[in-house]
Amino acid sequence: MPGLDTSLSIAVQALSANQGALSVTTNNIANVNTPGYSRQVAVLNEAPTFQESGITFGGGVTLDQFQSVRDELLQLRIYEETQQQSNSQTQLNSLNQIEGTFSDPSQGVGGALSAFFNSLSQLSTNPTDTNARQAVLTSANNLANSFHQAVSSLNTIGAGLDQSVPQTVDQINRLTSQIAKLNGQVAQMRGLGKDSGTTQDQRDELIRQLSSLVNISVTQTEHGLTLTTANGVPLVVANQSDALQANANNSVLEHVYSTQGQDITSQIQGGQLGGALQIRDQVIPQLLTHLNNLASQFATSFNTQHAAGFDASGNAGQTFFTPLPSTTDAAASFGVAITDPSLIAASSDGSAGSNGNLEQLIALRNQQLPSGANPMDMYSNLVLQVGNLGANAQADVNASNLSVQQLTDQRSSVSGVSLDEETTNMIRYQRAYEAGARVVTTVNSMLQTLMNMGVGG
């Protein structure tokens, strides 16, 4: 039969176990708003039993460990969706800026083209009118400016994204070095059989931040996690991190290099960095090519027809738009070659009053360029392209926001701190502690009784 002192020591164990469990609750409540925190539970176990006089007695309770509650697969899916989300969001932000350039249908290159053809039409009613000739040159220059503006606004957006590349790479390197450090600690603690919950929470939160910057692939190894880019360029292996480098060595644009010096710019597709590179290297060049084709093809066909006519002095028409026929920067360098209004080749028969060539020039409005569309349709195709890109990015953002929200909810339902639950636990531990304390008092009073027996009262 165990003695009273055994009961006393079991009661004291109960006090300390419940006090310990209460401290887990306290910690959970304290971290209720900490991003990435996984709730912990106190793992209470029965203490080893002991036998006396053939009877097995319970040995009380032990607080074995604090364990954090997590679902690592869910965590991986959150990384996956986060890089998708921040990729689409980055693209959407840039596309919204790009759209601004093309949002007013009566302005921009389209509006300037209409105005230019209208000025030719106006001149055709009186081809010798100097004011109307001057108006043609003015609207031709406006057309040139509208090309320049469209190009420069696209380039400005591209340059902004380009500047963000080294900044993002810096952030990535900072995160990977922190992750590597925490990764080492987690592996070490696991090796010692300890729960690495808090460290793991911090590491996972940093990986989540990293996945919003770049697409990563996470593999679990015995030495902790291995992080690589989606194409296998190592970022974190055990407690070592490999820094990426950004520089603009051989080109005007920033490129991203692995530690080994391999250019991995085109392989980066996810996250903020992937989104920025996608817009900078794919979308903007594609739109610029479209503008350049329009500028170059329009200028070529206009110049050809202009050369077929005669100016106010009866001389053959000169080059009207410059320069030609380069298509690589046609929109940026689009210019008007003539400054003297009398050089506009309005006439088809050499006499000043003829407007025959103007009629031919105006007809270019409806003629197909080599691209297969007339100038205005080519421009509206560009607007369609911009609009579709924006609409698709918006849909991607909505979809990935929803997935991230759902996954976060799921994660939270596993790992999130519930104040109600913690309050309940608090009451449970408090009551258990109270009861334990009552046992101590009772045993104490029993011992007192025992002492008094000895006095023989």
Partner 1 sequence: MRVNPNMSGDVLAAIWQTQSQENTALQQVSTGKRVNVPSDDPLAAAQMIGNQDQSKRADQYLQNIDTLTSQLQTADTALSSTVQAVTQAITLGVQGSTGTLSAANRQQIAQNLQGIQGQLVQLANTSVGGSYLFGGTATTAPPYTLDSASPSGVTYNGNSGTNTVQIADGLNLQTNMPGNQLFQNSGGDIFGSLQQLITALQSGTAAAAETATNQLRTAFDSLTSQRIFYGNAVHQLNSTQTFLQQEQVTLKSQANNLVGADLTKAATDLTRAQTAHDAALAAAAKILPTSLLDYLK
CB 78, min distance to partner 1, A: 13
CB 13, min distance to partner 1, A: 28
Helix axes 284-307, 108-124, angle to 10 degrees: 10
Q: Which is nearer to partner 1, 235 or 432 (CB)?
A: 432
Q: Which is nearer to partner 1, 125 or 220 (CB)?
A: 125
Burial-class residue 439 by CB neighbours within 10 Å (0-12, 13-18, 19+): middle
In single-letter form, the type of residue at position 399 comes to A
Report CA-CA distances (Å) from 325 to 145, 300, 417.
19, 7, 67
CB 362, min distance to partner 1, A: 6
Q: Which is nearer to partner 1, 430 or 442 (CB)?
A: 430
User: Of 363, 430, 417, 321, which is closest to residue 18 (Cα–Cα)?
Assistant: 430
Binding residues for partner 1 (CB under 8 A) = 32, 95-96, 99-100, 102-103, 105-106, 110-111, 113-115, 117-118, 121-122, 124-129, 347, 349, 351-356, 359, 362, 366, 376-377, 379-381, 383-384, 386-391, 393-394, 401, 405, 408-410, 412-414, 416-421, 423-424, 427
Q: Which is nearer to partner 1, 329 or 377 (CB)?
A: 377
Q: Give the separation between CA 228 and CA 210, rounded to whole angstroms.
A: 11
Q: Which is nearer to partner 1, 82 or 241 (CB)?
A: 82
- Consecutive H or E run containing 315: none
The token duo for 233 is: 């360029």
CB 96, min distance to partner 1, A: 7
Phi then psi for residue 247, to 5 deg, are -155, 165
Q: Give the separation between CA 184 and CA 222, rounded to whole angstroms.
A: 11
Q: Which is nearer to partner 1, 142 or 380 (CB)?
A: 380
CB 85, min distance to partner 1, A: 13
183-192: b (≥16 Cβ within 10 Å) or e: bbbbbebbee
Phi then psi for residue 52, to 5 deg, are -150, 135
106 near 376, Cβ under 8 Å?
no
CB 430, min distance to partner 1, A: 11
CB 304, min distance to partner 1, A: 20
The token duo for 29 is: 């409540």
Q: Which is nearer to partner 1, 222 or 420 (CB)?
A: 420
Q: Which is nearer to partner 1, 61 or 407 (CB)?
A: 407
Q: Which is nearer to partner 1, 111 or 160 (CB)?
A: 111
DSSP state of 51: E
CB 79, min distance to partner 1, A: 18
DSSP state of 114: H
237 - beta bridge partners? 226, 240
Count of beta carbons in the 10 Å neighbourhood of residue 32: 13
Chain Cα centroid distance, residue 181: 25
Q: Which is nearer to partner 1, 111 or 285 (CB)?
A: 111
CB 222, min distance to partner 1, A: 31
Which residues have CB under 8 Å from 434's CB, separation 6+?
none
335 near 323, Cβ under 8 Å?
yes
CB 348, min distance to partner 1, A: 9
Q: Which is nearer to partner 1, 248 or 391 (CB)?
A: 391
CB 198, min distance to partner 1, A: 19
Count of beta carbons in the 10 Å neighbourhood of residue 240: 15
Q: Is 187 helix (H, G, I), strand (E, B) or coil?
A: helix
DSSP state of 267: G
